[in-house]
Structure 1
């Protein structure tokens, strides 16, 4: 079936509305603030082969790149001819899911007149997955919590009671965790229901082929506008005993881009490793944001791009590598891409920015177990056209949990959350400012375990074209600057200040 431009745009918008409605249902029915306020989830519709068609507008960029591959992993284990209506699959395998076990993915096959036509897939960060709190200090995946292999959560509508009991037995807040998982299942079912009227009008195979072709054509044209050649960059993360180095080699050949991370640091015995599925997702996202951000995003956008990394490296670690803090490294991949292409696309790239930081806290208060996660945005780099954005989440699009919600979930009093004025780098256009967040544990609180995932406390976001670097981040406990690597025990009255880094400036001042 051929579509003219108007028909294709209308049908594309209908596809997006199907996924967006499912996302709205997920947000309204989930139990944790990670979804409602943190926006730490994604919902994707794929075709029957696991090729992405559309995702919700609220979805995290990295998850968008991972979910289609997860669907294909399920297809490899459970062939399409064995799937039945009412089946729901589940996993949190980092190598086959979204990079760490704290994200749980559910995939639901969608049928029409008994024939498999599509998959609805949802991934979200659970408030807890057992094990140690999410921390950079974990040395193996076994410390990080419960691993769920590729499995069936429901088989023809019948729940897998043993698996459900196992999940609930292993996490600190089982009602919240399973509540979010069931909300995922509901969102997938809604996607299937809303898709049926569209399928009365059009074949999903034809529509999928058309939207993928349009996106692939646009991406190839954007790549073709870059001069052929090899472009390289080096970006550093604070690391531990020594910095973690990201070595990016980007080769443009006609309509293709191949990115190789050979020369990057080896995998580490810490929870900072980035599995290939996540490496690909954030590399592709950086290129998509840079080259054709306004074109519909689907499998066609990914087709002209490959990523590789040597086995045993930070971007291709061997099991049982820990990866709970993989975002601190993975979120620097767009910065590596931008830096590599800065010489040929000076008006499009922007200076270095800082990934999100986060605080995870668990304990018991007034007889009730709690586990909470809060994200803190940071300063982003300036461009040739404008200053950097302050307290913005990039390359994720995570949200800050409202102060009132945090205080209702954990025994803390928030003293301030404010922009770190002046923390952005100097330049013709200044970098964006970071965030300052201060809280104290309530006087009647018991001891609490807290973990802080913070980055760029040493390796600061770099400026471009003569712009200055941003200010580094800091973590202070009772006025003393501390290393965020290890979880800490907080006691009643303890005060914590988290400061996120500022973004790099652009151009000489």
Structure 2
């Protein structure tokens, strides 16, 4: 209900169409109890970290009814500045009982625009440390004015922020009703029961995996002809698992570095998908998991390196985990997907003379499963939706000439990989449009499993000429962009 409220009151298609947001309920200590379904699944592991950060920085003794806290620090939130997290304490009889929290991808966060060429966090936009957005119900007008002054889309960005707060208010009302109905002083005992059930189920699933050390490694597109290397060891001991990323590439001065909060979230999501997909998501799931990544690597970078495109690293991690577990759990993992998620970010001046920023997402094919072919144009592991053509043409100076499946782009196999998509845009703008691509698998395809073939490589063309996706571009009237997303890997010996 809160998620639908956020979607229906938000201003940007990032939230109301693409579902790039999430909301959770935590107990008074910041441990998650429940998350909405139509959202980014990895945020279930990120949001509790941010709530616990609010507790540490602001302090429970300084929290009051009507407060709302805000933060977008990539190292304690969801990994990049564009995701703005807000949380509201819920009180009962004057005592802190729970939190409602939400994160959403802002239409714009200022700075250079989210681009893989950024070298430092300072280029990437407005940084908001943990602070109060509302104090006892009163908004910090200075913070709002400052926020609006930093971004290209002040009305959309502020509108989405208040949509999140509206969702938190609804959660507060419903949780209060729940506590009233069952006579609960807080959600601690209730939460311990829910989390305990999930923890026991996850430990049982983990204990069913043979003890051992399972390894995987692969390279990805990287930069300037130099691939990035990913390596992990998954060690199962009884009902516990440790994932170690030693050997993974060092952090680089490009915005694909993935902070540890997002790294843990991607690992925990992959393990849950493989071992316990049908049990509710909450903090209990994570208690048998340990993730280690050497400091200074692309999966645990140090400040102030850029992180705006952290999904270009984070979205590879579930595939890495699956490849490590494939020899021992071949029936529970799938081939590589045509991910990470692709996007085109456009900036410019509209017909009314106002600056704008817009993000369009594109999905590749899903990897094939042991039991069936991969889905086409499927967002995994991000759960992001594409914006309908009609809204693209209404909200941007782009005309869509074509949007179709890339026939034959899925990898061969007993079960073929899912197909990518082809989308062709043309600029109808009288002023130049700044265009930034985020695209992967242009040189390293999505691998198959158990003898399945790789998916087709992705392609990005400007006026039918291959484009450098690691550079910024300017698009003028009549120029076209062609996007061909990668296919997913196949499963089984049809390669």
TM over 0.5: yes
Cα separation, partners in 2 of 1:202 and 1:223, compared to 1, 3 Å = farther
What is residue 9 of structure 2 aligned with on the other side?
Answer: 29
Counterpart pick for 2:372 among 386, 391, 398: 386
3-state SS of paired residue (1:476): strand
What is residue 495 of structure 1 aligned with on the other side?
Answer: 480
CA contact (8 A) 2:44 2:281 kept: no
Supply the distance in 2 between the matched residues of 1:481 and 1:438 (Cα, whole angstroms): 14
What is residue 461 of structure 2 aligned with on the other side?
Answer: 476
CA contact (8 A) 1:93 1:99 kept: yes
What is residue 222 of structure 1 aligned with on the other side?
Answer: 205
Q: Does 1:278 align with 2:262?
A: yes
Supply the distance in 2 between the matched residues of 1:354 and 1:280 (Cα, whole angstroms): 21
CA offsets per residue over residues 229-249 of structure 1, 9 Å max, x none?
100001322100311111011
Unaligned runs of 5+ in 1: 1-20
3-state SS of paired residue (1:64): helix
Cα separation, partners in 2 of 1:225 and 1:202, compared to 1, 3 Å = farther
Q: Does 1:268 align with 2:268?
A: no
CA contact (8 A) 1:350 1:464 kept: yes
Q: Does 1:63 align with 2:47?
A: no
What is residue 291 of structure 2 aligned with on the other side?
Answer: 307
What is residue 361 of structure 1 aligned with on the other side?
Answer: 346
What is residue 407 of structure 2 aligned with on the other side?
Answer: 421
What is residue 75 of structure 2 aligned with on the other side?
Answer: 95
CA offsets per residue over residues 202-254 of structure 1, 9 Å max, x none?
53222111110100000000000011010000132210031111101110000
What is residue 18 of structure 1 aligned with on the other side?
Answer: none
Counterpart pick for 1:174 among 138, 145, 154: 154
CA contact (8 A) 2:344 2:435 kept: yes
3-state SS of paired residue (2:178): helix
Equivalences for 1:8-23 in 2 at 5 Å?
21-23=1-3
3-state SS of paired residue (2:42): helix
3-state SS of paired residue (1:194): helix
Supply the distance in 2 between the matched residues of 1:76 and 1:274 (Cα, whole angstroms): 23
**Displacement of 1:411:** 0.7
What is residue 239 of structure 1 aligned with on the other side?
Answer: 222
**Displacement of 1:157:** 1.2
Supply the distance in 1 between the matched residues of 2:485 and 2:147 (Cα, whole angstroms): 34
Equivalences for 1:51-450 in 2 at 5 Å?
51-200=31-180, 201-203=182-184, 204-241=187-224, 242-355=226-339, 356-366=341-351, 367-442=353-428, 444-450=429-435
What is residue 4 of structure 1 aligned with on the other side?
Answer: none
Supply the distance in 1 between the matched residues of 2:159 and 2:423 (Cα, whole angstroms): 29
Matched residues, number: 488
What is residue 507 of structure 1 aligned with on the other side?
Answer: 492
| CA RMSD between the two structures | 0.9
Supply the distance in 1 between the matched residues of 2:188 and 2:111 (Cα, whole angstroms): 43
Supply the distance in 1 between the matched residues of 2:406 and 2:461 (Cα, whole angstroms): 15
Give the TM-score normalised by structure 1.
Answer: 0.95
CA offsets per residue over residues 56-82 of structure 1, 9 Å max, x none?
111211211100000001100011121
Supply the distance in 1 between the matched residues of 2:324 and 2:346 (Cα, whole angstroms): 38
Supply the distance in 2 between the matched residues of 1:205 and 1:159 (Cα, whole angstroms): 29
Supply the distance in 1 between the matched residues of 2:42 and 2:479 (Cα, whole angstroms): 35
Supply the distance in 1 between the matched residues of 2:131 and 2:177 (Cα, whole angstroms): 30
Supply the distance in 2 between the matched residues of 1:402 and 1:498 (Cα, whole angstroms): 16
Supply the distance in 1 between the matched residues of 2:424 and 2:92 (Cα, whole angstroms): 53
**Displacement of 1:486:** 1.4
Unaligned runs of 5+ in 2: none
3-state SS of paired residue (1:470): coil
CA contact (8 A) 1:370 1:410 kept: no
Supply the distance in 2 between the matched residues of 1:205 and 1:361 (Cα, whole angstroms): 45
Supply the distance in 1 between the matched residues of 2:242 and 2:92 (Cα, whole angstroms): 38
Find runs of 4+ consecutive structure 1 residues off by over 3 angstroms.
Answer: none
CA offsets per residue over residues 475-507 of structure 1, 9 Å max, x none?
000010012111211111110001110011111
Supply the distance in 2 between the matched residues of 1:202 and 1:321 (Cα, whole angstroms): 48
CA contact (8 A) 1:425 1:502 kept: yes
CA offsets per residue over residues 269-325 of structure 1, 9 Å max, x none?
000000000000010000001101001110000110011111111111110110111
What is residue 9 of structure 1 aligned with on the other side?
Answer: none
What is residue 7 of structure 1 aligned with on the other side?
Answer: none
CA contact (8 A) 2:299 2:313 kept: no
